[in-house]
Amino acid sequence: MTVLPAFDRHRPASLAGATELLETYGEDAVVYAGGTELFLLFKLGFAEYPHLIDLKGIGDLFGIERRDGELRIGAAETHRSIERHPLVREQWGSLATMERGVGNLRVRTMGSIGGNLCFGDPHSDPATYLLAAGARLEARRGADERREIPLASFTTGPFENALVDGELLAGVLVPAPAPGAAIVHRKFVLTERPAITVAAHLRRDGSRLADVRLAVGSAGNRPSRVERAEVLLNGREADDLEGALAEVADLAADAADPVEDANGSVDYKRHLVGVIAGRTLREALAESRGA
């Protein structure tokens, strides 16, 4: 049996309470929501904190609702609650599908979307999907300080994020899909967590491709947009997507910047990223409708 190191658990009821605890205990404290990552680290002996701050009593970190036309998801909402929410299923269907593919039922029932993004494990489905969806993040510090962070600037490296001391991730803001637009998320999994993730957003403007956003992740240290492929594809005749896919595959592999690990070599991952990027774009094109 694994014995966890002793800790005091705090359960603030407000953002102000959480920030106050973080300021009081400094580096001796850590926050958690589902605890699926944090308690794993404790059990493996990789981390130890005398003060644990449970975020699940803070109402501002919950809720799934439409706000000013976009979807606002509280950071402490679980993958399961997002996947099953009627608003998400009806109007952000690709998000529900992506969430349904995260881990297993136990992980989705306990793990939160905020915990996934804050932990910064490169093998993340939501991080790649939300990049292609053009999402922003809402950070809060205490009762009054609020700022928005584009998803592209949030993950600063493996297991690192852009939050500053005392700041919490409070929500995820996902724009409404434009009429006729499609987002497709695909991944390649060898063991538990994804080895490769690719997400593509696009729509058709007449006969041409528009608003192409291609994101790749999990193969390297952090998720990334494939901006050079987006430039190549935006404005291109939709019928000629195939003609661009060989170049897109190379650009996607460059942007993914794979690292060698238990999932495979750099060359193997570069190849897979290219193949999956092509498939994902083809599927997004098939799902999109003309505006």
Work out the angle between the directed axes of helices 241-256 and 266-287 (0-180°, nearest 10): 140
Other CB atoms within 10 A of residue 265 CB: 12
Is 7 buried (19+), middle (13-18) or exposed (0-12) by CB count in 10 A? middle
| CA–CA gap between residue 183 and residue 202 (Å, rounded) | 7
Q: Extract the tokens encoding 227.
A: 């901006």
Q: Which candidate, 37, 26, 28, 24, places its Cα nearest to that of 7?
A: 28
Number of residues that bind ligand FAD (CB under 6 A): 32
Residue 38 binding ligand FAD, by CB under 6 A: yes
Residue 35 binding ligand FAD, by CB under 6 A: yes
Part in contact with ligand FAD (CB under 6 A); list of ranges 120-128, 144-152, 241-249, 269-277 = 120-128
Nearer to ligand FAD, 115 or 177 (CB): 115
Nearer to ligand FAD, 193 or 203 (CB): 193
Nearer to ligand FAD, 168 or 273 (CB): 168
In what side-by-side order are the strands of the sheet with 64-67?
64-67, 70-74, 168-174, 136-141, 145-150
Q: Extract the tokens encoding 234.
A: 């935006």
Residue 172 binding ligand FAD, by CB under 6 A: no
Q: Which of residues 1-30 bind ligand FAD (CB under 6 A)?
A: 30
Residue 62 binding ligand FAD, by CB under 6 A: no
Nearer to ligand FAD, 35 or 175 (CB): 35
Report which residue's Cβ sits closest to ligand FAD: 115
Part in contact with ligand FAD (CB under 6 A); list of ranges 178-186, 188-196, 204-212, 232-240 = 188-196
Burial state string for 212-224 with b = 16 or more CB within 10 A and e = fewer than 16: bbbbbbbbbbbbb
Q: Which of 29, 75, 196, 200 binds ligand FAD (CB under 6 A)?
A: 75
Nearer to ligand FAD, 123 or 203 (CB): 123
| CA–CA gap between residue 225 and residue 215 (Å, rounded) | 4
Nearer to ligand FAD, 110 or 275 (CB): 110
| CA–CA gap between residue 188 and residue 272 (Å, rounded) | 8
Residue 171 binding ligand FAD, by CB under 6 A: no
With beta carbons less than 8 A apart as the criterion, state whether 91 and 49 touch. Answer: no
Residue 37 binding ligand FAD, by CB under 6 A: yes
- Residue 66 vs residues 151, 162, 169, 172: alpha-carbon distances, Å: 19, 25, 18, 12
Residue 125 binding ligand FAD, by CB under 6 A: yes
Residue 124 binding ligand FAD, by CB under 6 A: yes
Nearer to ligand FAD, 42 or 212 (CB): 42
| CA–CA gap between residue 151 and residue 130 (Å, rounded) | 7
Q: Which of residues 193-212 bind ligand FAD (CB under 6 A)?
A: 193-194
Q: Which of 19, 81, 116, 280 binds ligand FAD (CB under 6 A)?
A: 116
Residue 142 binding ligand FAD, by CB under 6 A: no
Which residue, chain included where needed, has tokens 């690192």? 160
Q: Which residues bind ligand FAD (CB under 6 A)?
A: 30-38, 55, 61, 75, 102-103, 107, 110-112, 114-116, 118-119, 124-126, 163, 168-169, 192-194
